Amino acid sequence: MFEDLGANWDRFYAQTIEPMVDLLVAAALVWLTAVVCARLLAPAVTKWKVFGRVMPRWVGRLLRALGMVGLIVGAGWLVVAASIEQYPFDAVVIVGPTVTLVLATIVYGIGQATRARMDVMVIQSDGQPNTALATELAMRMRGMNADDPEGRVEDPSGSDLNEVLAVAGSTEHWAVQLARGAATMLLNLRPWRLELTIFDDRTARARLRRNGLRIADEQLSLPLPPVDDEHPAELLILAAALAATTVSEHYPDIRGLYGARGWHGIGLLNLAAITDGDAHRAYVEAAIEADPCCVLIEYQDVFDRYDITDADDLVPLMDRLEPMIRFAAALSRIDDEALRTIDQKPWHQAPERGRREPRLLMLQLMIRYATAVRNWSMERQLADDWTAQDVQRLTRAAGIFDLMMTMLARPRRAERVVAGASIERMRHRAAMGWTLLHEQLEGLERRAPEPPVAPARPAQPAKRAALAERWVAAAAESPEVEVRYSWACYLARRSSTGTPNGEVKQIADKLRLVCWSGWYQDAALTDPELAPVAGHAKVRKAVLQPLASAWEIQPFTEHKTSLAANAVRSPEQLARWRDADRLAVALGIEEAHAARLIDAAVLFDATVTAAERVGVRRRDLLRAAKCLIQTLGHGPDSFLRAMAATPDLLGLTVGRAMYWRPTGDERAVTARFLEAVRAALTEASVPAPV
């Protein structure tokens, strides 16, 4: 019995399995040959304009799938057809599978050569590759267009097969390395290759290849010294900008760069994001010069130039934002009647090859615009001086607000993925702005028999009004800092001088939760929407946030521990050192830094003396000292120069820091206090200004 089983198995193996194995091996060899031929097509595909420059990535994915199916079917068909001897016309029989293989090879080759995956390599100045820097460079490259995660350069790690090859690359065994190299070459898993060679902390060379052909070769150099000499973050940013913008030119579905032309402007803009002060401004201006038509760069310039709560900046800010919103809408392929009345700027030119950009930038511009409109309209309301031009501007803003509400009501999937929490915050702020604006327009319609211009107010569908009401109600319970602040301003604006105590308490509670932040406190000090409740003690206390001691003022905070170790218990004691060299040695800092620290202490000591003479309370004194020393950066000499040149402006700034919106008596106290500070400094024999 067992002998029969063995004989049957041998016969089955010889008649079935062995021929099948032979056929599979033959088919695998045919398939491998076709794959090699497909790989050899890659350089030709790169040079072919139709596929090498403007093919969407989904087309490449489709071609790869169809090509692989065709290769498998064609290889099997060809081997089977060639093995069947009874066909009378063998040459004719193999024509079908041969044509299938040739077409599949071409299709698969095009699909593989046009994928957006990239290999990244960073070579340090010592000639050694650095994997960590290569990873950082890849992440920075993908972050260049973070507004659209689906429209980015593919992750260099990619599929599981790439991970296997990465693990194989970590071993030195020749056979494993050979297999890895063969797989990488044959399958063409990463057609793009970015090589960054770093020469020193300010220069590098970036080479970008596609299927072995050079696409870009740029010398990178920093116009300013790097932030960190030990880490080439700036050079990585420039290389990432080069790669992201260049790759995006070849795929119309890579979005999020908003029509940037070339890599220089985007690279410099991202350098500005990691710097501050003069360096930040220098990078922004260089980016504008490199790409004056890029709305991303213009947005950063507008953000830097205009204070959202400064009455003098509001009209110029709105005049800049309105055409930017229209341009961003054009990039996102949005056309709305509210935008057609806005004049376009000559530098807002859509790129030749249009692609639908994400709407997030447009929404961010609209939120910024909404805040400016709210503050400007409140300034006009406080002044009670509306012109025909003002009403037209308000009416135009109402149309933009309506469009913003519509967009936020139906966010796209990518917007929910990238900025789900931000969308909620935008909804809350947009609803409050929409409600206030339409209430103000209704008031202008009722206020006089003949208003300056009858506002042609956009219709308010009941559905939109109900949506705004629901979002406003949700804003009242939001834990987000920016929404809390906006809600306090919203409630204050709807109040009058007879605001109920309950509402005052709500406003004060919201402001107390946000004004611990220096940014929101500075905003509240000049925000016109809070003016109706500025006289309430609870609200004033919430905004001004009393300081516990002088140690909360920079630069004293930074050196508190070191000064205490040298028996300096207060800034007043520090004012008596006078010897910057000795202080520098004691604290382990530079002499120039020590001199500035002593100057700050001398000025603080003078404010203490002045407060005692004038009768200023300690909490008001500390706020005044913080304004003079930390906010304005004054020392004794610069304070005396400011008092001689612009005493009224200095008094306005310090009075706002002490009392927020000072009364007439409080302004007089501020003036006497500053005069007493000048007298105290003079008595202390501080040199007069040159």
Q: What is the pLDDT of residues 446-460, one digit of tens each?
A: 765 555 554 555 556
* Residue 268, in any domain of the structure: no
For the stretch 632-664, pLDDT in tens is 999 999 999 999 999 999 999 999 889 998 989
Closest to 134 (Cα-Cα) out of 193, 80, 188, 181: 193
Question: In the numeric block, which tokens belong to residue 582?
Answer: 């000795």
Return the C-alpha torsion angle 67, 68, 72, 77, nearest 10: -10
Q: Which of 238, 257, 276 is the last residue of a domain?
A: 257
CA angle 126, 131, 134 (to 5 degrees): 95
**Whole-angstrom Cα distance, residue 595 to residue 99?**
84
567 and 535 in a common domain = no
**Domain assignment present for 290:** no
The verdict on 151 and 75 lying in the same domain is no
Pair 523, 563 in one domain: no
**Is residue 563 a contact partner of residue 589, using CB atoms and an 8 Å limit?**
no
**Could you tell me if 250 and 311 lie in one domain?**
no
Domain end point (choices 113, 134, 149): 113
Is 288 inside a domain boundary?
Answer: no
Whether 292 is in a domain gets the answer: no
pLDDT of residue 172: 54
Q: Among 259, 260, 285, 258, which Cα is nearest to 271's?
A: 285
Token digits for 162?
A: 């790439």
Query: Domain of 636?
Result: 550-685
pLDDT at 21: 75
Asked if the structure places residue 491 within a domain, the reply is yes
Are 518 and 395 in a shared domain?
A: yes
Low-confidence ranges of the chain (pLDDT < 70): 1-19, 47-54, 84-93, 146-189, 350-354, 447-460, 496-502, 685-690
The last residue of one of the domains, among 239, 257, 275, is 257
Domain assignment present for residue 295? The answer is no
Distances (CA, A) of 150 to 245, 254, 295, 381, 413: 16, 8, 21, 45, 10
User: What's the pLDDT score for residue 161?
Assistant: 35
Nearest CA among 405, 472, 401 for reference residue 438: 401
**CA angle (73, 78, 83) in 5-degree steps:** 130
- What pLDDT, on the 0 to 100 scale, is given for residue 148? 62
Q: Are residues 439 and 494 in the same domain?
A: yes
350 and 452 together in one domain: yes
What residue type is 278 in one-letter code?
Answer: D
Residues 376 and 248 in one domain: no
Q: Is residue 286 part of a domain?
A: no
Verify that 574 and 679 share a domain, yes or no.
Answer: yes
Residue 300 resides in a domain? no
Tell me how far apart the alpha carbons of residues 196 and 666 are, in angstroms, rounded to a whole number: 61
User: In terms of domains, do 449 and 590 share one?
Assistant: no
Beta strands in 54-199 (DSSP E): 118-123, 192-198
Distances (CA, A) of 277 to 274, 284, 593: 11, 11, 18
Domains: count for the chain: 4
Same domain, 102 and 146: no
Parallel, antiparallel or unpaired: strands 203-210 and 192-198:
antiparallel
CA distance linking residue 267 with residue 476, whole number of Å: 40
Structure tokens at 209: 């290849």
Does 125 lie in the same domain as 78?
no
